[in-house]
């Protein structure tokens, strides 16, 4: 599924125009990117959590020459799926908390 297909489904499910659905999706994605880039976390209960993670410097290998190269430390975005999302993908019902 690509962005335009997602916008089409969102517009149909929410009974809004495609333009409104596209603006809403853009606003949500923008908010997630802005929040995670500041180092904060976005948690959508049942769906998952977006956060940033530090990746340490390491030594890699140039696949063409086989020479060792240094890979600098960096910060990368990370997504952890929520229990409901994991269960849906696995084809199971989510376990209810007691």
80 pLDDT higher than 70: yes
pTM over 0.85: no
Is the Cα dihedral 17, 89, 96, 83 positive or negative? negative
For residues 2-16, give the mean pLDDT. 96
CB-based contact 48:85 (threshold 8 Å): yes
Q: What is the mean pLDDT of the chain?
A: 93
Percent of the chain with pLDDT over 70: 95
Looking at per-residue confidence, does 37 or 93 come out higher? 37
pLDDT of 93 reads: 73
């Amino acid at each position: 599924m690509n962005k335009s297909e997602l916008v089409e489904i969102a517009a149909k499910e929410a009974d809004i125009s495609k333009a409104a659905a596209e603006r809403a999706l853009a606003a949500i994605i923008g908010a997630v990117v802005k929040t995670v880039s500041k180092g904060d976390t976005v948690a959508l209960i049942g769906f998952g959590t977006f956060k940033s993670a530090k990746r340490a410097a390491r030594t890699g290998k140039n696949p063409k020459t086989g020479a060792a190269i240094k890979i600098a430390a960096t910060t990368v975005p990370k997504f952890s799926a929520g229990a409901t999302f994991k269960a849906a993908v696995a084809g199971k019902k989510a376990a209810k908390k007691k």
